[in-house]
């Protein structure tokens, strides 16, 4: 891909608490950072056109396409899949399937987005189930973690496929030469954990792929940055991610409370303000906004529904990074090796396209 070619992103304008205004804010920021960007913006044309017209920098690179329906944030995925065929979310995904756009970004209903993306884009060859991945701030920098909620129940093959996808991500997108992979567990010893993690560890140790499999890691290894990629089932991953977010909020709340508790506390905080602001910035959730749906035959990024323009622009940059680094080609190559080598990963009977898998 020549570096001056335009990159077209398909945007669901109607997803998110403050949509469509915050989406347009995000487009403006992203367009300002990257002149190659073009947007296909799906949603209520009557609402969108005046907003776009008011921002010349957005208008110049955006095509508004009308979608009559909106997927609600509380809609069940199976219902959204059936009745949301005319929704902004569905139209935005279709644009990737039709080759009109290089990636789709939505801040809408996660379960509905996963169900629709899986139905429309299909999974990559050798991948039974897509997963949700994101960056996690650590002492060393940032770790990729997956699955964060697409698959509540995972077997060993699912976890192995997540490991392969995470490895490709860390190598091709984060640029880590030989990324280490850890399986999240309740202890480091071989005997620990449930059947799925023990089975996945056995496959990863013996599958012959050139993967740096570290072994089991525990919850505190996430923030330590012990490994470059953390693999877990969607139930545990979702709880761990939200537990960490909750701890960040608790810490921020109590720190603010402490630093406003007395005259001297306030004075000290004022003097140390630049350092404290840099510290706060490291935990800014907008910096980590943009969860990647990996394992699909197309790039799909989910923005947090409660974010603002800065966060939405970050989700756009996540999608851009995936497109620019040929993320999906890397996965296809590695999975193909796995299939040729000893076929431990394919379980054809599990290759369901049921949207139910994404309900949680």
Touching its own copies, residues 115-134 (CB under 8 A):
none
Interatomic CA distance for residues 120 and 254, integer angstroms? 45
**Residue from 178, 258, 306, 352 in contact with its own copies (CB under 8 A):** 258
HEC letters along the chain: CCCCCCEEEEEECCCCCCCCHHHHHHHHHHHHHCCCEEEEEEECHHHHHHHHHCCHHHHCCEEEEECCECCCCCCCHHHHHHHCCCEHHHHHHHHHHCCCCCEEEECCCHHHHHHHHHHHHCECCCCCCCEEEEEEECCCCEEEEECCCCCCCCCHHHHHHHHHHHHHHHHHHCCCCCCEEEEECCCCCCCCCCHHHHHHHHHHHHCCCCCEEEEEECHHHHHHCCCCEEECCHHHHHHHHHHHHHHHHHHHHHHHHHCCCCHHHHHHHHHCHHHHHHHHHHCCHHHHCCEEEECECCEEEECCCCCCHHHHHHHHHHHHHHHHCCHHHHHHHHHHHHHHHCCCCCCHHHCCCCHHHHCC
* CB of 166 vs its own copies, minimal distance in Å: 17
Q: Which of 126, 130, 234, 298 binds its own copies (CB under 8 A)?
A: 234
Residues 277 to 316: which contact its own copies by CB under 8 A? 278-279, 282-283
Which stretch in 34-42, 123-131, 248-256, 325-333 sits in contact with its own copies by CB under 8 A? 248-256
Task: Select from 72, 199, 215, 219 the one that contacts its own copies (CB under 8 A).
Answer: 219
Comparison of 83 and 194: residue with beta carbon closer to its own copies: 194
CB of 251 to its own copies, least distance (A): 5
Q: Is 189 in the site for its own copies (CB under 8 A)?
A: yes
> Least Å distance between CB 111 and its own copies?
8
Site membership for its own copies, residue 262 (CB under 8 A): yes
# residues near its own copies by CB under 8 A: 67
Report in angstroms how near the CB of residue 229 gets to its own copies at its nearest: 16
CB atoms within 10 A of CB 199: 17
Name which position in 97, 259, 310, 339 contacts its own copies (CB under 8 A).
Answer: 259
Q: Which of 34, 44, 235, 325 binds its own copies (CB under 8 A)?
A: 235
Binding to its own copies by residue 350, rule CB under 8 A? no
Interface with its own copies includes 17 (CB under 8 A)?
no
| Binding of its own copies by 359 (CB under 8 A) | yes
Q: What minimum distance in Å lies between the beta carbon of 256 and its own copies?
A: 10
- CA dihedral over 166, 168, 174, 180, signed as positive or negative: positive
- Check residue 221 for interaction with its own copies (CB under 8 A): yes
Interface with its own copies, residue 83, by CB under 8 A: no
Binding site for its own copies (CB under 8 A): 74, 76, 137-139, 149, 152-153, 184, 186-187, 189, 191-194, 218-224, 232, 234-236, 238-251, 253-255, 257-259, 261-262, 264-265, 267-276, 278-279, 282-283, 359-360
């Amino acid at each position: 891909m020549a570096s001056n070619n335009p990159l077209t992103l398909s945007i669901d304008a109607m997803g998110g608490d403050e949509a469509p205004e915050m989406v347009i804010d995000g487009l403006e920021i992203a367009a300002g950072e990257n002149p190659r960007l073009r947007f296909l913006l799906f949603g209520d044309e009557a609402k969108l056109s005046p907003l776009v017209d008011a921002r010349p920098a957005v208008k110049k690179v955006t095509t508004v396409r009308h979608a009559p329906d909106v997927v609600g944030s509380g809609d069940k995925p199976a219902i959204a899949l059936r009745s949301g065929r005319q929704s902004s979310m569905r139209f935005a995904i279709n644009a990737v399937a039709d080759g009109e756009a290089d990636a789709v970004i939505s801040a809408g209903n996660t379960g509905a987005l996963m169900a629709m993306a899986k139905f429309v884009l299909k999974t990559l060859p050798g991948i039974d189930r897509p997963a949700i991945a994101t960056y996690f701030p650590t002492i060393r920098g940032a770790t990729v973690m997956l699955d964060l909620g697409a698959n509540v129940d995972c077997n060993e093959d699912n976890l192995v496929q997540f490991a392969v996808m995470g490895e490709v991500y860390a190598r091709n997108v984060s640029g880590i030469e030989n990324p280490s992979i850890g399986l999240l567990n309740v202890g480091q010893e071989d005997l620990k954990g449930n059947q799925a993690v023990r089975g996945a560890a056995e496959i990863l140790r013996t599958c012959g792929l050139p993967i740096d499999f570290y072994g089991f890691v525990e919850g505190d290894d996430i923030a330590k940055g012990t490994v470059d990629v953390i693999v877990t089932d969607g139930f545990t991953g979702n709880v761990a991610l939200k537990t960490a977010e909750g701890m960040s909020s608790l810490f921020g709340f109590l720190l603010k409370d402490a630093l406003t508790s007395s005259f001297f506390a306030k004075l000290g905080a004022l003097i140390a303000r630049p350092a404290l602001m840099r510290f706060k910035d490291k935990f800014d959730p907008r910096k980590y906004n943009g969860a990647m749906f990996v394992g699909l035959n197309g790039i799909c990024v989910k923005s947090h529904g409660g974010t603002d323009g800065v966060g939405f622009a970050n989700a756009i940059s996540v999608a851009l990074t995936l497109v620019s680094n040929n993320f999906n080609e890397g996965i296809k190559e590695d999975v193909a090796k796995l299939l040729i080598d000893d076929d431990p990963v394919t379980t054809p009977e599990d290759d369901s396209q049921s949207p139910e898998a994404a309900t949680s």
